[in-house]
Structure 1
Amino acid sequence: MNWSEKIASYFTGNGLIYIVADEHNILGQSKIKKLLNVQGRVLHFYEDPLLFRELYESNFRHLNRTERQTLLIIIKDSQFNQIPYDVYEQAVHLTLSFDTFFPNLDSSVLKECSHVLYDVIFSLHSELIQPLNGRETADFLLNKVCSINTSSISNEAALIKSGLLYYEKYNEGLPKVLLKRLNQILYQINNNRLLESRLIFQSKECFKLYLNQMWQQHIDSFEKGAEISKKKPIHSWDYFNDPFIQRYIFQYIEPVKVSNANRYEQWMFPGLFIQEETASLIESLFRDDYSLFEINDWLRFASKLGQLQNQLLLREQHEEYFQDNVSKANESFDKWIKENFHKLRSLSVLPKPKMVHQIPHYLSRKADKKIALIVLDGMSFTQWHLIKNHLHSKDLKTDETAVFSWIPSITSVSRQALFSGNEPSLFSNTISTTHKEKILWTSFWEQQGFSKQNIAYEKSLGLKSYNQEELAYYYSPSVRIYGAVIDIVDKFMHGASQGLQTIQSEMKTWLNSGYLDYFLEDLIDSGFEVYLTADHGNIECIGTGRITQGITVDSKGERARIYSSLNIRNFTAYEHDEAFIWDDTSLPNNYHVLLAKKNGAFVPKNQKIVAHGGIHIEEMIVPFAKVYR
């Protein structure tokens, strides 16, 4: 039994009302709240008597115990009589306190600790045979719970190893009360380097920043002429020679640019970007002739292209040579997609979907499980590989394939197709908006035999701090089908002043906030089988000039323009060589499309932007992945 299960075991009476004195806010811990919610318990933190009365009268008073949920009324002190008497007299009264659960630990220290520590505290506290004071409690937590063996810290290597062990278990810094105690211990050692390094426990970001600064200085010593051959480089730091640190450090290290590999040992390579390798990486992907490429070849190529582009962007090596090769490959893809797009619509959804609108049909074959489909609006394979690497560093695994977007590769077309399971011609009334996605998503799953209460959908996620309690599925245990849109890539895309480089930089910052991994982990913990995809990708574009038409055009996208008048669309194409006509029977009759050629965009000449809407390989092929532990 873990900590959350221990707390939940106090509230097993179905339909009962509990009044809980919770001075240490134990029931406010997110994992405990989630477990109680899954068990059908309603938690009410009592503050406003009127709000409570409304809740009680509407949902509990007039229902028999067998018909109602279990209610937990949570108060901050032991004044049970503040609860209305008619409720008080029928309720079970409980007090939750650290003094009860951990009698040998100092509660004043425990209440300052993060919730993430309590599972480990609960599993280890039974080792104690006598009460500890505040300082002793802090030492117990540092050594046993946080894996920071304070008695063995005599040098910087030992401190770094403690940091690696601590952040392997926890994603946040030490609680202030423990950080203060650790500082006291380090001051007693009287080692200036240790005192400078102690800030690594303030947060995981501080740890990463410190390691990267030291790694850069370490590599600089080699670049200035130090030789390896079993000599220590000038200005070396002993901890980089420690085998344990060498093994685990690179999940925190950003590769450093170096001129060649000759002067470096093999173990250092994950922390290096060897510039001479760029050309060979590019040559391994691109070729002179793509004429024999079929669907699976292009799907694999798109993923490898995104992987390579992500590497080059992270290393600030997004060179013209690489972009020229992409352009050449895309010329072949352009020809292939124009000849074969109509065939994609009729391909089987099994063993894996080939187009985004087939994804719901594929998932419906797995509907004996709870299903969560997370759509990162506008995510290309370039962003996906950055995201995938981040998820893998958090011990989340991915099973990846690729699917085609719709044409035009714009949100109102491709994302509606994705959530509705239909071709665009079947949602012609809403093809210019995404406001009906929830209705379309719900309708698809109702046709599969689910009721409305089993289905949830929400969008505009990822734009603020993560809070599971704000998500649509959290308070509804009956939800079995969950669809959600994370808008962060699209937000970064439309503000990318430096092109793809800006997006990758901002994506890294967002990923380090923990939003995505918390979101996915909570879904997995709630029993969902989680899938992640995109409605379309994106490309770095160069402006070819604006097309000024006023009200004669229905939608003025940067890569796609939509007309209700066929004649105006055709005349516009005739007048602008940088555009071409796209017609397909999958589109509504009055929906006429004009697309930008190659990587052009209908914006001022030579302006660099990141956009979508056309038929570039980076827009048209997107990831579809299962995420699991």
Structure 2
Amino acid sequence: MSAWIDRIVHDFPVDLSHFWIACDPDDLLLDERILLSLRERGFEVLPFEDSIAFRTEYEERYRAAWDRGEDGSAKALILQLNGSDVNVLPWDYIRDGRQVRLGLADLFPKLSYSVIRRIGSEYHEALFAAHNRHGTHPLGESATKDFILTHIFRISPYLLNRPEDFWREVLRLHYRGSGLPDLLADHVSAILSETTLVDLPVAELLSSKSYMVRVVQDAWERFLGQYGVHSSRSSDAEPTEAFSAIAVPFEHPDVRMIVDTMFLEGTLQPVTIKGSPIGIPDWAKVGLISDPNALADLVRDGVTRISGELPSIDSSHRDWGDLARRLGEVIFRFHSLNASLADTVLKQVRQLQHEADERLKAWILNHFADLPSLPAAKAPVMVHHVPRFLALRRNAGEDRIALLVFDGLAMDQWIQIREYLTERVPGFAVEDGACFAWLPTLTSVSRQALFSGLKPREFAGSISTTSQEPLLWERFWQENGLRKPEIYYQKSLKRNAQLTELEDAISHPATKVAGIVVDMVDEIVHGAMLGKRGIAGQISAWCDTGFVEELFLMLARHGYQIYLTADHGNVEAEGIGRLNQGVVSEVRGERVRTYRSDALAESVPEGIDGFRFDIAGLPSDFLPLYAGTRGAFVPKGDQIVAHGGISVEEVIVPFVKITIKRST
């Protein structure tokens, strides 16, 4: 156990009390490593967000058992209060609970609280070690920023005087998945404003990976133009883009090494050309596709690199989100190959998918219970965090918000749509992210959680249907200050003919939030006959109808901030045998079955490759049985595309913010 984790859990002695109240204004307990450590000691942490919901769960899962002398769901429960005033709690909680106070100001006394409270929790552990080792005297705001840059991000802005030094650090940061927090990016920008880098958008490049990728992609295509190589992207580029003249020193060895990796993993897209340009350096050919075999080589090299960097049992949810995006890029490229070339790399891709799924399954069995409680202020960790995150964005000034839920959209399929839009929509930009679907990855479970902002146990009465979604969406926003006429919901959107009616609704001045279900991908998946490769072809044809492009442009025209996500993804699976149980199973999915009692769940015939994984966030009488690995409860050997189970492609879905800069 690290010194940081030990310092936090030290305040909670084992067996001292059943019920604890943690005044935790900085959400220190809501870190997955802290939550896991506490759970291993017999504690569960439950944030106090809604008095009625907390009371229900507290009485049902904990207090009743303790009154009977039993452990219940856990030996002890910690009520996590995001504040310092316990008087907001019911009196019996204050009477019964043992109180503990936690805060960053007390844990980092030599650093500026106004700075460290704006640094992500993922850096607390390293910062605590650096503070204890190198913090010799109290530091002000500016000195605290320099301290964090030096000891956590390994950057000294005072040494970034040359373009090659700056770009090396920018690429290194984003390759490691740790762009600078806005506060620190602005600090570096202010320091560099008096150097030769003054004309660069320093803060944006350091803080936003998507912005950095757009700049580097644009610069790469202009770099190739020096050798007579031109792409469709470069010819269609919007001339008003602020980064259109930014040069990247690709020839520098440190820059070249990271750019090479970005091409291999799909972060940067190589330029397709005909023939072999004269004079182009050999190192630059990784960013070119001069023949179909080159793309197959990129897929093969990407698989090799990702295979050696798969997250482990101790990794964070952020590591898994990064892996899902990298894997999605490779799968997208794999499906772009013609059939004969795809066969040459099929075995490697399938092996990578299998290894990733097995590791994710082991990780989920250890960590999934902690995900629902993680904070959503910076980005949703799970789909039921999405409404709460959007409410925070409205409070931050985003007056009109559109949430597009592409039902059943896997990460590789989002990347396919993203690349289509990037090529055809001028000013199109994406802040890519990822979040976890609810288990089981069924529409009635995960999509309801997404629109309601609730855990599935909180809508137990409708868990087998989606009919209550409009009411749940409306209720959430009314509880967050909107009136009914300001809230819009529409499902089953997929064709151009429906866009006129949608525009009539979203263009109304009163409309502030729009929840829109686009279900074409899910419809394609359920009718798939040729696997995910065939689905990719159908998605391409759907995009060519102009529907997706016009949908985004329409929302942008009417001033909406656009967020896109999915309720679950989809995966190729193989039949392991039918479960012929009649009405015993409540939900009879192809990748999961659910039962209403332990006795029914145990009625599964021997020899079926399935496993149980019960989650506290599900109703107590909703018990899933998952098909093993990439199996499905269909006749043995049948090949299908399905969802409901536990795999990277089903569980980790895109959560992205989309902006479209319009020409002036």
TM-score band, normalised by the shorter chain?
Answer: 0.5 to 0.7
- Specify which of 339, 361, 374 is matched with residue 334 of structure 1: 361
SS of the aligned residue for 1:366 comes to: helix
Name the Cα RMSD after superposition: 2.7
Aligned pair in 2 of structure 1 residues 348, 476: CA closer, same or farther (>3 Å)?
Answer: same
Letter in 1 for 2:422: H
Aligned pair in 2 of structure 1 residues 279, 453: CA closer, same or farther (>3 Å)?
Answer: same
1:521 is matched with which residue? 553
Say whether the 8 Å CA contact 2:381–2:435 is kept in structure 1.
yes
Letter in 1 for 2:514: Y
Aligned pair in 2 of structure 1 residues 309, 246: CA closer, same or farther (>3 Å)?
Answer: closer
Deviations 1:531-566 (A, max 9, x none): 000011111111111111111112110011111232
Cα distance in 1 between the residues matched to 2:493 and 2:388: 24
Cα distance in 2 between the residues matched to 1:271 and 1:513: 29
CA shift for structure 1 position 513: 1.3
CA shift for structure 1 position 582: 2.1
Cα distance in 2 between the residues matched to 1:477 and 1:250: 34
Stretch moving more, 518-527 or 441-450: 518-527
Cα distance in 2 between the residues matched to 1:347 and 1:548: 39
Cα distance in 2 between the residues matched to 1:345 and 1:245: 44
1:554 is matched with which residue? 586
SS of the aligned residue for 2:432 comes to: strand
- Specify which of 309, 313, 316 is matched with residue 294 of structure 1: 316
CA shift for structure 1 position 383: 0.3
Counting only pairs closer than 5 Å after superposition, residues 38-187 of structure 1 correspond to structure 2 as none
The answer to whether residue 494 in structure 2 is matched with residue 454 in structure 1 is: no
The answer to whether residue 410 in structure 2 is matched with residue 380 in structure 1 is: yes
Query: Which one has a bigger Cα radius of gyration?
Result: 1
Cα distance in 2 between the residues matched to 1:445 and 1:277: 45
CA shift for structure 1 position 246: 7.7
Say whether the 8 Å CA contact 2:577–2:608 is kept in structure 1.
no
- Specify which of 509, 516, 521 is matched with residue 477 of structure 1: 509
Q: Percent identity?
A: 33
- Specify which of 269, 278, 282 is matched with residue 303 of structure 2: 282
CA shift for structure 1 position 585: 1.4
CA shift for structure 1 position 527: 1.1
- Specify which of 237, 255, 269 is matched with residue 288 of structure 2: 269
Cα distance in 2 between the residues matched to 1:494 and 1:387: 19
Say whether the 8 Å CA contact 1:468–1:474 is kept in structure 2.
no
Letter in 2 for 1:444: F
2:378 is matched with which residue? 351
Aligned pair in 2 of structure 1 residues 492, 527: CA closer, same or farther (>3 Å)?
Answer: same
CA shift for structure 1 position 575: 2.0
Say whether the 8 Å CA contact 1:254–1:271 is kept in structure 2.
no
SS of the aligned residue for 2:334 comes to: helix
Counting only pairs closer than 5 Å after superposition, residues 555-594 of structure 1 correspond to structure 2 as 555-572=587-604, 575-594=606-625
SS of the aligned residue for 2:433 comes to: strand
1:322 is matched with which residue? 349
Cα distance in 2 between the residues matched to 1:512 and 1:246: 17
TM-score in terms of structure 1 length: 0.58
Cα distance in 1 between the residues matched to 2:232 and 2:517: 39
Cα distance in 2 between the residues matched to 1:602 and 1:344: 28
Counting only pairs closer than 5 Å after superposition, residues 145-544 of structure 1 correspond to structure 2 as 248=234, 269-270=288-289, 272-273=291-292, 274=294, 275-287=296-308, 290-291=311-312, 292-316=314-338, 317=342, 319-367=346-394, 368=397, 369-393=399-423, 394-395=425-426, 396-465=428-497, 467-471=499-503, 473-474=505-506, 476-544=508-576
Cα distance in 2 between the residues matched to 1:306 and 1:289: 14
Aligned pair in 2 of structure 1 residues 336, 532: CA closer, same or farther (>3 Å)?
Answer: same
CA shift for structure 1 position 471: 4.5
Gaps of 5+ in 2: 1-226, 238-268
SS of the aligned residue for 1:537 comes to: coil
Cα distance in 1 between the residues matched to 2:464 and 2:525: 20
Letter in 1 for 2:463: I
Cα distance in 1 between the residues matched to 2:233 and 2:619: 57
SS of the aligned residue for 1:422 comes to: coil
SS of the aligned residue for 1:550 comes to: coil
Gaps of 5+ in 1: 1-240
SS of the aligned residue for 1:310 comes to: helix
Cα distance in 2 between the residues matched to 1:577 and 1:330: 19
Count residues with an aligned counterpart: 386
